[in-house]
Chains A and B, each alone.
Chain A
Amino acid sequence: AQSVTQLGSHVSVSEGALVLLRCNYSSSVPPYLFWYVQYPNQGLQLLLKYTSAATLVKGINGFEAEFKKSETSFHLTKPSAHMSDAAEYFCAVDDNTDKLIFGTGTRLQVFP
């Protein structure tokens, strides 16, 4: 069965620092992978998705993620954090079973 593990429920960085949010997946077939962002009291917004076209995927707001099959990982990065990046981030996997399964989320705090 497909599953997603997000290491670290909370990550804190200083403004301007590198953001790294970790996601590892479990799937018996090549998966589709997603990162979503949720701002306080809002729904989820798609940041980026991996659909096998390229292993390095660029998303909105300067975020990108790299699919590494050997490590079963899809970590999310941003070179320089901004205060507006403070939110909760969810990794999700879809391995063609008609279901999108989410990780438990990582709350990103950005300090000035």
Chain B
Amino acid sequence: NAGVTQTPKFQVLKTGQSMTLQCAQDMNHEYMSWYRQDPGMGLRLIHYSVGAGITDQGEVPNGYNVSRSTTEDFPLRLLSAAPSQTSVYFCASSLQGYGYGYTFGSGTRLTVV
């Protein structure tokens, strides 16, 4: 049981490049979310999903796309990276909402130069 797996752990991008951050969970969780963590700002919700085929925007969705074709996977796409997207990204999953709590991955540290 691996929990929530994020790849890569580190990435450096040039401005304008695109990339996909991968997130997979093996706990059969319905809910999955992407957060970014920046100093002094805590964790801010980017996008979330309550099941396969269902996604919605969080607090800071601009510049990011998601899709959820399977229960296990929830990739985050940066279409055209900008320096403002330099951050640590966390994926999290929950069996369902309503107080179950989320299990977090170990994060992806992204630098855009």
List the interface of chain A (C-beta within 8 A of B).
Answer: 6, 9, 32, 34, 36, 42-46, 49, 51, 90, 94, 96, 98-105
Task: Determine the distance from Cα of A81 to Cα of B2 in the docked complex, in whole angstroms.
Answer: 31
Cβ of B97 < 8 Å from any Cβ of A? yes
Known: A44-B90, A99-B58, A100-B102. A94 touches B97 (CB 8 A): yes
| 11 A-B residue pairings within 8 Å (CB atoms) | A6-B42, A9-B40, A32-B99, A43-B104, A44-B92, A44-B104, A98-B31, A98-B97, A99-B45, A100-B92, A102-B44
On chain A, the residues within 8 Å of B101 by CB distance are: 34, 46, 49
On chain A, the residues within 8 Å of B56 by CB distance are: 98
- Give chain A nearest CB distance to B109 CB in angstroms: 9
The 10 A-B residue pairs with the shortest CB-CB distance in the complex, in nearest-first order: A32-B99, A104-B42, A51-B99, A43-B104, A102-B43, A44-B104, A43-B106, A102-B42, A105-B42, A98-B97
Known: A32-B98, A43-B105, A98-B50. A104 touches B58 (CB 8 A): no
| A90 close to B42 (CB less than 8 A) | yes
| A96 close to B98 (CB less than 8 A) | yes
Known: A43-B90, A43-B106, A99-B48. A90 touches B97 (CB 8 A): no
Task: Determine the distance from Cα of A103 to Cα of B37 in the docked complex, in whole angstroms.
Answer: 11
